[in-house]
Amino acid sequence: MRSIEATYNSTGAAYYLCIGFIPDWVDIIAVGDAEVAHAHWSKGFTTAASDNGFMEHGGSQATSLYTAGAGIEPYEGGDQMTSTIQTTVAYGDGVYLGWDEIGDYKSNSSYGYEDEAIASWTLDTTANRTGHFNSDVPASGNRIGEGSRILIKEEAGGAEKEAVIEVLTAGQGISADEVTLSRAVKSGTIYRITGRWDLLPIAIGKVAPAGIKMSATTDINANDERALIRAGSFDRCSSGR
């Protein structure tokens, strides 16, 4: 059995999530949507009315069934990226999205820090879960910000704790209370900071791995809205059934 979970930035248009395999089931959650729309698909959806899955919505909208070509479907991969099909490779954009190959940005001079590698966290205000780093993130092109996961080893007690960055403006980070975390982690050493999203545009010239295509653009796929994919494969008996 294989399963993955990954964040990405919705674009408001059809996209491909090239996770490296064709899953047997998929959940896509609009975690940036106040009404938390969910889209679901499984290989067991074998009726014409919903063979591309369905969407549930926390608002007044009714459940939407996805017919062929309207929702989630398998994608075998194999397309070589050109500017014709991958119309942008800007961070947070893209039509074909694959895994972030860098992963840790605290020591990345291009996208992670302004003057020196980000190595320390200082908790300034416990009640607000706010603090600062030893360096600013870049004013442009930075990949550390809202949605980044940060791993800190606290000086007091030595516990390693992970949190999510909730607020961090480009060009900031070094001054008191400029960074808000999902919980109040004590001051300490930073071991890792991920990018804002796990899936990024696949570079021009590269070949897209397998995954899924998402064609729905109503409610579940608003432009610049944080989304989450959970996908996996089922256990099979020796007969392959």
Using one digit for the tens of pLDDT, what is the confidence trace for 210-220? 999 999 998 89
Over the stretch 50-89, which tens digit does the pLDDT of each residue have?
999 999 987 777 789 999 999 999 999 999 999 999 999 9
Q: Show the domain range for 136.
A: 120-193
**Contact present, 173 and 120 (Cβ < 8 Å):** no
Strands 226-233 and 25-29: antiparallel
Q: Is there a domain that residue 129 lies in?
A: yes
Q: Are residues 212 and 96 in the same domain?
A: yes
Predicted pLDDT of residue 239: 44
pLDDT for 28 equals 97
User: Residue 238 — very low, low, confident or very high, per pLDDT cuts 50/70/90?
Assistant: very low
Choose between 202 and 219: higher pLDDT.
Answer: 202
CB 168 within 8 A of CB 146: yes
Q: Is the pLDDT of residue 95 over 50?
A: yes
* pLDDT tens digit sequence for 37-50: 999 999 999 999 99
The reply to whether 39 and 156 lie within a common domain is no
171's enclosing H/E stretch is: none
Taking 60 as the threshold, does the pLDDT of residue 241 lie above it?
Answer: no
Q: Is residue 105 part of a domain?
A: no
Indicate the residue type of 123. Answer: L
- Residues 91 and 214: their CA atoms lie apart, in Å, by 19
Examine the pLDDT at 106 and tell me if it is beyond 60.
yes
Whether 58 is in a domain gets the answer yes
Q: What pLDDT sits at residue 25?
A: 97
Statement to judge: residues 147 and 91 lie in one domain: no
Same domain for 206 and 224, yes or no, is: yes
Q: What is the mean pLDDT of residues 16-20?
A: 98
pTM over 0.95: no
What ranges make up the beta strands (E) of 110-178?
120-125, 130-133, 149-154, 160-167
The pLDDT of residue 58 is: 79
Residue 1: pLDDT band with limits 50, 70, 90: confident
Same domain, 206 and 229: yes
